[in-house]
Structure 1
Amino acid sequence: MSRPHMLAPAQAYALWAASYPAHAHNPVMHAEERAMLELMPESLYGQAVVDAGCGSGRYMLHALRRGAACVTGVDLSPEMLERADAELSVERHGVPVELLQGSVTALPVADAWADLTVCGLVVGHVEDLHASLAELHRITRPGGRLLCSDVHPIGHALGWVRDFKSGDERYAVQHTQHLYSHWHAACATLGWQIERVLEPMLDPADIPVGARFDRMALEVPVALVFQLRRQP
């Protein structure tokens, strides 16, 4: 199979948005989402939630279903924000929801605004992990938490890519490998306390019959998921 055309995130998601659902839609995303939801509080009653890199809105939907008082989604792609707006329309139920265009390194959100910040499978699209975690720290209130995930660095080493089809072409999104040591160093510098780290594995039940994939994916973790607390 030929290698997919590699695109910058803005280019890739402009093409991918039309077919990108607001739920986990591949085995890696299922594994990552199970871990993220394990860390997300069952009740978000009274809390302000920001989803940085919200895409089509899957974690915004979970926040609304868990009772968040207000939810803000930020994404680089206007096409993905349009998709999120459509996906969220039936779940708002009078809860204030705001969708804004912006980068995870330049979020259009006030300082210390979020009780909970979520950033799912986004930071790998940014070369500078420290800059991303600094901006996520800025918008999270002291004592608030960040749930942040990325494709596991093992996957990068094995040559995995985040690919998709648009028309008859196959594309992939540019991705930077961030090692655990990079996370640890950035968190120590910025004042993030690492509370929990999960490394979810694939569930064979999520793999479609006849799917072509790297069998090594069943032997290694596929995502790196952090629960971080902004120190007071």
Structure 2
Amino acid sequence: MSWPSILEPAHAYALWAPSYPAHAHNAVMQTEERAMLGLLPSNLSGITVLDAGCGSGRYMRHVLDRGTVAVTGVDLSLPMLLRAQDELASCADPSRYCLMQGSVDALPVPDAFADIALCGLVLGHLEGLDAALGELRRATRPGGMVLCSDVHPIGHALGWARDFKSAGKRYAVRHTQHLYHHWHAACAAHGLAIESVLEPMLDPNDIPAGAHFDARALEVPVALIFSLRRIP
């Protein structure tokens, strides 16, 4: 099997957007999503949410279903934002959501903008955590929740790639390994208290029959998830 071409995130998602689903579309994402949603309050009535790196809007749909008063999705990729707009327009009241173009490390929102900030499977696309966690903290109200996930760093060590096909060619998105001590240092520097850390394992029932995958994935955690609290 040939190795995929590694692309910068903006280029990769421009190619991937037309076919990118607005739901967790593989076993790793399903595992990550169950853990994230387990930490997210089940009733978001009266709560405002920021989805930083919203992609095709999968977490925006979840928080709308849980009753958020308003959710704002920010993403660097305009094609992915257009994908999210198509998905949300078919299932949500436009007055309850907003989409904006911008980077997680330079969020286009005011200070203390949201009660909860989400960032799902995005931070590995950045070379460092510091600026992004600083921005997530800034955009969250004092005492608010910051909920982040990423591919577990063990996956990087095992050679896993976030790959996809476009026009018959195979590509992968550039990904940077962020270890626990990187998270700890960045949280300490920006006034984010670590409330819980999850390292979920794959559920074998999520793996389609006949799928080709690294069998070691059943023996190691596949995602790293942090529930953080902005220290006032």
TM category, shorter: over 0.9
CA deviation digits over 1:118-167, x for unaligned, max 9?
00000000001111100111100000001100000000011101000112
Q: Contact (CA 8 Å) 1:50, 1:116: kept in 2 or not? A: yes
The one-letter amino acid paired with 2:88 is: L
Q: For 1:183-202, what aligned pairs fall within 5 Å after superposition?
A: 183-202=183-202
The one-letter amino acid paired with 1:52 is: A
Q: For 1:32-51, what aligned pairs fall within 5 Å after superposition?
A: 32-51=32-51
**Partner Cα separation in structure 2 for residue 140 and residue 39 of structure 1:** 17
Q: Contact (CA 8 Å) 1:52, 1:75: kept in 2 or not? A: yes
Q: TM-score, normalised by structure 1?
A: 0.98
CA deviation digits over 1:75-110, x for unaligned, max 9?
000000000001001332354311000000011011
The one-letter amino acid paired with 1:99 is: L
Q: TM-score, normalised by structure 2?
A: 0.98
**Partner Cα separation in structure 2 for residue 219 and residue 84 of structure 1:** 34
Partner residue in 1 for 2:6? 6
The one-letter amino acid paired with 1:231 is: I
**Partner Cα separation in structure 1 for residue 64 and residue 90 of structure 2:** 11
The one-letter amino acid paired with 1:115 is: D
Partner-residue secondary structure (3-state), 1:15: helix
Partner residue in 1 for 2:70? 70
Q: Contact (CA 8 Å) 1:14, 1:79: kept in 2 or not? A: yes
Partner-residue secondary structure (3-state), 1:136: helix
Partner residue in 1 for 2:20? 20
Partner residue in 2 for 1:166? 166
- Change beyond 3 A, Cα 1:103–1:94: closer
Partner-residue secondary structure (3-state), 1:220: coil
The one-letter amino acid paired with 1:155 is: G
The one-letter amino acid paired with 2:228 is: L
Aligned-pair identity (%): 68
1:142 aligns with 2:131: no
Shift, 1:47, TM fit: 1.0
Gaps (5+ residues) in structure 2? Answer: none
Partner-residue secondary structure (3-state), 2:55: coil
Q: Which runs of 4+ in 1 moved over 6 A?
A: none
**Partner Cα separation in structure 2 for residue 75 and residue 90 of structure 1:** 20
**Partner Cα separation in structure 2 for residue 17 and residue 202 of structure 1:** 26
Partner residue in 2 for 1:56? 56
Partner residue in 2 for 1:90? 90
Count of residue pairs the alignment pairs up = 232
Q: Contact (CA 8 Å) 1:69, 1:95: kept in 2 or not? A: no
The one-letter amino acid paired with 1:209 is: A
